[in-house]
Structure 1
């Protein structure tokens, strides 16, 4: 793979990582305590809650795991139901709330009410966003009654952290990826407002340097050459940088042969980008044993709840539903579908998807096989 030569200059080492408030605060002691609590009468104990808000989104990224689902879901939880879910999660031990889902959280008029209640219960909100609405005053005012600058400042003032999607620094390629003309200008404006609002201020703690701003993206044939530049761009803004291989699901599957690296090359790509990414997966707070086990806020530390209230495996794996908070308490759902407390059991979802992709590609006639020459 020719991209290997791009990564010979290892500008960054793992000593240079930035930590994100709300995700990277957890340490081995927290995990040991959680395991002990679960094994001694509280198997429903958690440290995090991952919630999905609206299915609607203002951009159309080709790799999105929910590419065909961009409209508001009339079955979405009400604000009162989100508040009740938050209360239950806090009672079970949650300290962080990840806000993500099939759409764009800042596109949800209920977002500020949800965040406000979470903060009132001392949950640390971490919001996954494409950042463009923060740079779009018209849409922000329509949704939240605040312009983009005031929306950004509000989220900063309540102590939220941001995980901002970043796939490239090339404006034309960015708009090709998100399939919306003019989106780059709004993204740039949104990022500038994040900086102005204080998201990129860093501070020292015993375990490292923290920030409330992270840029996260995927490595594909389109953008892998710019990974080092994206890392530097993020660092210039005092932001964490996460780059990973995409989950081969949803829209990404439709582009698997042209834009994704073949499954046989995934580990090599991971090794290359490892020199630049602060960690391999977005929701991993701590690696316990090399790369053999990476804890995950959505797998080990707490549940993922969809916008309809279903308990599912992950944001990217929603086919298997384990019940709904509209019918059972969060505690009962966790007891019914207890996740393993063995920290030697990493999340299997992404590797499982790549196995499925390998099988799919092997089933194609030999003449149709695609050989990666990038």
Structure 2
């Protein structure tokens, strides 16, 4: 992912355009939590997923309206990610994927590795025009991954799903959550990313929210060491490495290689999250809502809501993040700042520059 110096970005995400986009106007990613229903009980779950669907989920008609709103952002269109919970718990999932494709939207899907994820389902994703399927891998072997995911057999399902995707011509990415427990497995997971033929490795740095609040985080120094390892690793592999909730990756890359750019998202600036009930958030890890798609257009909320406008203005950040020389380049995780201080405009404690 390449950045210019004015908040615009060109991207290598599925369906992305080489045209630079202004993040004050159009996000790179719209992540829609289609449902909280999921058959897994993962230790880190942001959504605190439940076995059953919420009766107040967006209806099929409301979901189609959201798709229309995403399309109205214009060109280049955001990538619409169908996330969860497990999106396969929604019986209208393929109807909605088809509709998004008809509206010209690039789509991605993040199915949970349960019995819902079959070869037929993966083939239907490809037929529906899905640009990429994300699979979560949080350990280099079945024991470590299945323990983290709380489900025996999850590791094997991911291996099979990746093979089915290869046969169907469907691009995949691997998502990994970094905690003090999973960090030692990163080199082994990286080998899997290569072997499975993934186009991208998306590395999430834990935000202590939902069930993830009970997990141990890295120290700031450890986080910087991991980010440096990830940056050096991505120079040697065919897939892209991006980070989530760790915009410090941009700073670390500059410290290693000078004027380089890497991919890392920040809440409310290029990224917007729509909950299963239609509430609009800067991130799924930042529980402050700007409004609801049931009452106001997603485009208006993203562009004009005071919460989003301020999140895109690092000059309004307080503490070390607000004074940092890397404020515009990095800005810190707004989600982690909120989790740690109750203030999304505070400082991100995962950064060693904050701890000094």
- Shorter-chain TM range is 0.7 to 0.9
In structure 2, relative to structure 1, the CA distance for the partners of 1:300 and 1:225 (3 Å cut) is same
Match of 2:38 in 1: 57
Which one scores higher on RCO, CA 8 angstroms, separation ≥ 6? 1
1:308 aligns with 2:282: no
Q: CA deviation at 1:323?
A: 1.2
Structure 1: distance between partners of 2:296 and 2:335: 29
User: Which of 206, 209, 220 is residue 179 of structure 2 equivalent to?
Assistant: 220
With normalisation by structure 2, the TM-score equals 0.72
Tell me the residue number matched to 1:163. Answer: 134
1:3 aligned partner: none
Distance in 1, Cα, partners of 2:143 & 2:63: 38
1:321 to 265, 274, 289: 289
**Bigger-Rg structure (1/2):** 1
| Match status 1:97 vs 2:59 | no
1:78 to 59, 62, 83: 59
Whole-Å Cα distance in 1 between the matches of residues 204 and 28 of structure 2? 24
Contact 1:242 1:279 in 2 (8 A): yes
> Structure 1 residues 295 and 189, CA, compared in 2 at 3 Å: closer, same or farther?
closer
Q: Deviations over 1:145-193 (max 9, x none)?
A: xxx2121011112331112101113112222111122333333322221
CA distance in 1, matches of 2:34, 2:47: 13
Which of 100, 115, 127 in structure 1 is aligned with 2:109?
A: 127
In structure 2, stretches of 5+ residues that fail to align are 1-10, 235-239, 255-260, 315-327, 343-348, 350-356
* RMSD (Å), alpha carbons: 3.4
State whether residues 123 and 168 of structure 2, in contact with CA within 8 Å, keep that contact through their aligned partners in structure 1.
yes
User: Relative to structure 1, is the Cα distance of residues 342 and 315 closer, same or farther in structure 2, using a 3 angstrom cutoff?
Assistant: same
Equivalent of residue 92 in structure 2, options 98, 110, 116: 110
Whether 1:251 and 2:251 are equivalent positions in the alignment is no
Aligned residues: 300
1:349 corresponds to: 334
Query: 1:330 aligned to 2:301?
Result: no
Q: Deviations over 1:15-74 (max 9, x none)?
A: xxxx96427x355x513xx36xx6xxxxx5555432110101121111112236453111
User: Given the superposition, is the C-alpha separation of residues 182 and 81 from structure 1 closer, same or farther in structure 2, using an over 3 Å criterion?
Assistant: same
1:261-340 residue pairs with structure 2 within 5 A? 261-276=218-233, 278-282=240-244, 296=265, 299-317=268-286, 319-334=287-302, 335-337=304-306, 338-339=308-309
Tell me the TM-score normalised to structure 1 length: 0.69
